[in-house]
Structure 1
Amino acid sequence: MRLVAALTTALLLGMAGPAAATTTHRDSCAGDLLFCENFERLPTGGPSTLDWGVDTRNGTLSVERARRGKVLHLHTVGNGRAFLRVDDFAAPGNRFYGRLRLRVDAFPTAPDWAHFTLVEATGSGSAEVVRPIGGQYAPTVPGTFWGVGADGGPTGDWTNWRESAPVTEDAWQCFEWALDPAGNRVSVWIDGVANPELTASTTEHGGNAVPFVLPAVDTVKIGWQLYQAGPTPSQFDLWMDDIALSTHRLGC
């Protein structure tokens, strides 16, 4: 019976195909990647590595042990920021994918229109600060939602939150994004599911008349920043794991 059960399980897994495959924590940095960090090799405490830098204001980053292995704990006070920073980044043809596993203890519920971002890409050739993962508290619903992934420069997309993409608190989720200079497109997946309503492109960027143009990305920051003072809650805690940048989509 055990043999039959094992064969049945193997058959079902085979039928599920690549979409059902998941990456285990310890091999999440396997393969030819542009950047990867799963924190397993780092000591606990303040980050100690030459592979990436830190950008903080009223915030801290620390490596902790968790049930899933080691993770990065980010803590900010008020409208502080805490980012892992990848400098001297270069993707072939300026086209790349990102992946991040994330758990946020609580999102802001005040002040009205509180805006937060978790991924930021900048570079030369464009004034845009591209923030593919971010969102906003909307008091008119009310609720907190993920928003369209273009932000700095002329776009103003941070106001383009989507009711179809509500945030989830205190649960691990997988976020993926892609930046593609063909059409200046920014794409987002949440837990492996495409979210086309969060897409930005040359002409799809909050209705702004000025075309959206991706920079030649040389810096990627991954972490947390809130932009309004006096938020509720007054401090934020989140945990990140299996951060990767690649020339191809990695999946969850």
Structure 2
Amino acid sequence: MRITTSVTAGLLGASLLTAGAAAAAAPVAEAGGAHGSRTPCARTAALFCEDFESQPVGGASSLDWGVDTRHGTLRVERSGHAGKVLHVHTEGNGAAFLEVPDLAAPGNSFFGRVRVKVDDFPTAPDWAHFTLVEVAGAGSSEVVRPLGGQFAPTVGPDATFWGVGADGGPTGDWTSWQESAPTVEDRWQCVEFQWDAPENRVSLWFDGAAQPDLTVTTTDHGGAATDFVLPSADTVRVGWQLYQGGSTPDHFDVWLDDITFAAERVGCGR
């Protein structure tokens, strides 16, 4: 089931392989949602990697990435065995993103991995739509959201589901959420995606398990009946944005860790 809503344009997209192709794409570490050793970036050859371990506790800033907020904040905090993490806080339909500029993915194809915990997902207004990752770049006006979701009141009073989406391009503003991918509150999950330019495809994994129902392609997506075309990714933003006002709850807290973009699949075990 796909619902189209009118939302503020965001920034970010990512493409993931389907289940079969993903398994063959690259060797990966043992999958799992739990945090492993606290130095994943030290052991990963990646286009970009941030595990926050070298960041001071407090307001987030770095020479390697930018901060984009509106009625929101980013703070580095300690979180038990998880080490240091990024705490994203927004009020109402605010936004707070860590922004990675000038991503140089070979052949415009890359994998993403992020560990995420969301305190509460929106249960009002109807069809409230949120984004955690978005990608933009040259060659297409689509702003692609490889990780986002939507509240679906026709399914239940607190039914929110993950989905890939886009805005700003010829396919319009859409989120291809699926009931096979319900969100989970207050628990760490490892989410992976692949931005697959040759196949013009975005695919997802949760805690190492492929979610083929969420895959979007040139002609199989949740927007208008026209081709969905990936831009040449050069800017990736990771954080939180809700696009409707009058939300329940009236604020949102999200924790992020081990943000990685790489030419090969990283997996969740490191």
Q: Residue in 1 aligned with 2:11?
A: none
Q: Is the 8 A contact 2:203 2:214 kept in 1?
A: yes
Moved more, 197-206 or 54-63: 197-206
Q: Which amino acid aligns with 2:40?
A: S
Structure 2 counterpart of 1:183: 199
Paired letter, 1:32:
A
Offset, 1:195: 0.4
Separation in structure 1 between the aligned mates of residue 54 and residue 29 of structure 2, nearest angstrom: 29
Q: What is aligned with 2:144?
A: 130
The CA distance in 2 between the partners of 1:166 and 1:74, in whole Å, is: 21
Q: What is the CA distance between 1:207 and its match in structure 2? A: 5.7
SS at structure 2 position matched to 1:221: strand
Higher Cα Rg: structure 1 or 2? 1
SS in 1 for 2:96: strand
Q: With structure 1 as the length reference, what TM-score do the two structures score?
A: 0.89
1:32 aligns to 2:45 (yes or no)? yes
Determine which of 140, 154, 158 is the counterpart of 2:154: 140
In structure 2, give the amino acid aligned to 1:130. Answer: V
In the alignment, what sits opposite 2:24?
Answer: none
Aligned counterparts of 1:169 and 1:156: Cα–Cα separation in 2 = 29
How far apart, in 2, do the equivalents of 1:18 and 1:36 lie? 16
Give structure 1 stretches of 5+ with no counterpart: 1-16
Name the residue aligned to 2:77: 64
Once residues 98 and 118 of structure 1 are traced to their aligned partners in structure 2, the CA distance between those partners, rounded to angstroms, is: 12
Classify 1:99/1:227 alpha carbon distance in 2 versus 1 (closer, same or farther; 3 Å): same
Q: CA deviation at 1:157?
A: 6.4
CA-based RMSD of the aligned residues comes to 1.6
- Which residue number corresponds to residue 42 of structure 1? 55
Q: Determine the structure 1 residue equivalent to 2:112.
A: 98
Counterpart Cα distance in 2 of 1:36 and 1:18: 16
Which residue matches 2:176? Answer: 160
Structure 2 unpaired stretches of 5+: 1-26
Give runs of aligned pairs for residues 227-246 of structure 1, distance below 5 A.
227-246=243-262
Question: Structure 1 25/242 Cα, relative in aligned 2: closer, same or farther at 3 Å?
Answer: farther
Distance 1:159 1:220, change over 3 A: closer
Percent of residue pairs bearing the same amino acid type: 65
- Distance, in Å, in 2 between the alignment partners of 1:126 and 1:212 is 9
- Aligned equivalents of 2:222 and 2:52: distance in 1? 36
